[in-house]
Structure 1
Amino acid sequence: MSDKRDERAKALRERLNNELQRMSLDMCVKCTICETACPVAAVTPLFSGPKFVGPQAERFRDDEPVDHSVDYCSSCGTCSVVCPQGVNVAELNSIARAVMKAEQGVPVRDQTITQTVLMGKAMTPVAPIANAVLDNKLARYAMEKVVGVHRNAPMPTARGESLHKWLKKRPSPTKPATRGALVYFHGCAGGYFEVDAAKKAIEVLEYLGYEVIVPEQGCCGLAEQSNGLFEKASASVRRLVDQLRSPGTDLTIISTAGSCTGMLKHEAHQILGIHDPELLDVGTRIREISEFLMELYEAGELPTDFQPVNMRLPYHAPCQLKSQGMGTPASDLLRLIPGLEVIDSNVTCCGIAGTYGLKKEKYEIAQAVGQPLFDIVQANNDGLAACDTETCRWQIEKSSGVETVHPIVLVHRAYGLGR
């Protein structure tokens, strides 16, 4: 092991052993609620369960190698959400996995698939070619053999124009900004792969009377964190925080990137250990767009002159949205639209968990986790499903065959902005 790797592993072990983690650990009473709620442990014996690899194993880890089973944790966060004692089970497991990666080294695949901005910039200028390659069975088979990304795993669709390129050439909004300014955080997917949803979010906010400021912005580091690359993740999140603060520190930040919002609200603090006041500032000012619109509704400030959207719509609340403790605002928002019958999935997880379900050794596990959700979507749709986070949408659409969109797409339609 190199000296640098040794130092990283030692620093992460100190994180695991610090007083705050130890206090959380010692609150575990072995009730096994987290074990019964874990979607991964339910479908594979390769993962021993969040309690076993987390609070229980941590008591014996001071100088011992981390059990490789922890790498099969998907980081969905369900265990921390359901724990009646408030133990940071998922956070402990994420740090333990980072220790293991620091000690054993991070595979090239796990380093490569975290570079979402780089992929977006590379694929956008050659979108038709990139999409053709990703749709080619032979190319995907080669990718699985060489890189380790499963041949059937969902892939993003490259677009011919990035969001910022569209912003530079679009006409100025005709509706006056009567409610002041907001900062919009679109995330990597909204910038390059789900540009249409990002456009619709901007148009909805402008329709409501806001000036929408979209600063240049990079990755939040969530994929890097999930793959144990804590140093790179910390650098990414600090850079993004500076970018989101650049328009002003008194503006609300609105996001359509549900997972990335959770990273800024709590994961960068609780898992990466970033205690910067700048991160705290962004974390307290950021709102997921459905959360923000429901706050307006509850204050009597949201126009509800929606046009009917007559369809059955299966809706899935993703893990990383539920871990933010804000309920399911998108489900409530969608139910304000006349004619829209919203079918809540009530399923724990879709299985993809960011990059987890892309990996060839974890693909079948991810599919087994998500199968109950795919069945519900297939049985309850009129051609469309909704979910708040990007990779979850790609997973649902690929595995169910049903087009899956961000909830803001339905709101945009109900306001009649598609004309």
Structure 2
Amino acid sequence: MNHPAQIRIPATYIRGGTSKGVFFRLQDLPAACQQPGAARDALFLRVIGSPDPYSAHIDGMGGATSSTSKCVILSQSSVPGHDVDYLYGQVSIDKPFVDWSGNCGNLSTAAGAFAIHAGLVAPERVPQDGVCTVRIWQANIRKTIIAHVPVSQGQVQETGDFELDGVTFPAAEIVLEFLEPSDDGDDGAMFPTGNLVDALEVPGIGTLPATLISAGIPTVFVNAADIGYTGTELREHINSDAAALQRFEAIRVAGALRMGLIKTAEEAATRQHTPKIAFVAPPQDYTASSGKAIAAGDVDLLVRALSMGKLHHAMMGTCAVAIGTAAAIPGTLVNQAAGGGAREAVRFGHPSGTLRVGAEAVQENGQWKVTKAIMSRSARILMEGWVRVPGDTF
């Protein structure tokens, strides 16, 4: 019996922040996959190795976690004033599904670096030495991200001494600016319900105080104490508890309904990437997953967040934007956990350590908006060449 040979597609495997993904230039994709649709989704699923009932991604490039089951497409920008368009696909591990509903903040770092590596930034825009400012159009959420990428001898400088909790080795620092990251929605409201804190009714759990915010990525924040946690939990404390994961999904679905992201609870199954669910607590001592001691005085608050149904090993970049934004607005649960009051930056504790994010929030005509969120990450190419998939994949 004859079987189609494998085809090979130019690709680059990159770590960005605390995530990894397979990066493609749009023009390098097979013709059928250069447009959104079933062929593109099928390609990304096969590249990553999903759906995988073993949750191991043995036959693909994925790492069987939400942080490592990602694909990215970059192209020269179609939007004036931008260098590249960046499109992100979150690939489900165990289902035949690619979620295009949000951004990956961590891979936004790699998008800036890859844009230069791939020749998608005009040569005159890249200094011989210094910092290249890459203006990125995030096509999933239609927002501008500015990446300040260090350059040495005309090439991206990847090595350095910048340390990022959740990443084993140091690298060069890349500063990201997320401009006006609050969700446009129907009315442009950062808080879709109009409230800084809602009474969120969750079937099977009860009514919980919750901050529902769209900034960076739609996020549902609840208090750790209200759901029986301290905020110091690590991945194994949550991800090994099937009942706990079901409760978190119930909270996420209730939040998605309240925010108007879905119309029925059943729709949540096709929107796994958003919204995120996170729980917050005031500062206290804990030991990070690396064994590093985090003192209460090192942070303003503690945050744990789930991505694709599992507790994240560190913090999603887009969720960090939501944390920084909510922390800057007096009255939100995040702000309260950080001690209240106005602030322009916050350092929070997550399972792998700490992270600082700044946000500039203002109130106009009774509505809160954030003009900018800033954080530092790093990125490094791990492998480049071709990725191979069976010829009948799409």
State if a TM-score over 0.5 links the two structures: no
Q: Which has the higher contact order (CA 8 A, sep 6+)?
A: 2
TM-score by length of 2: 0.28
TM-score by length of 1: 0.27
Query: Which structure dedicates a bigger proportion of its chain to helix?
Result: 1
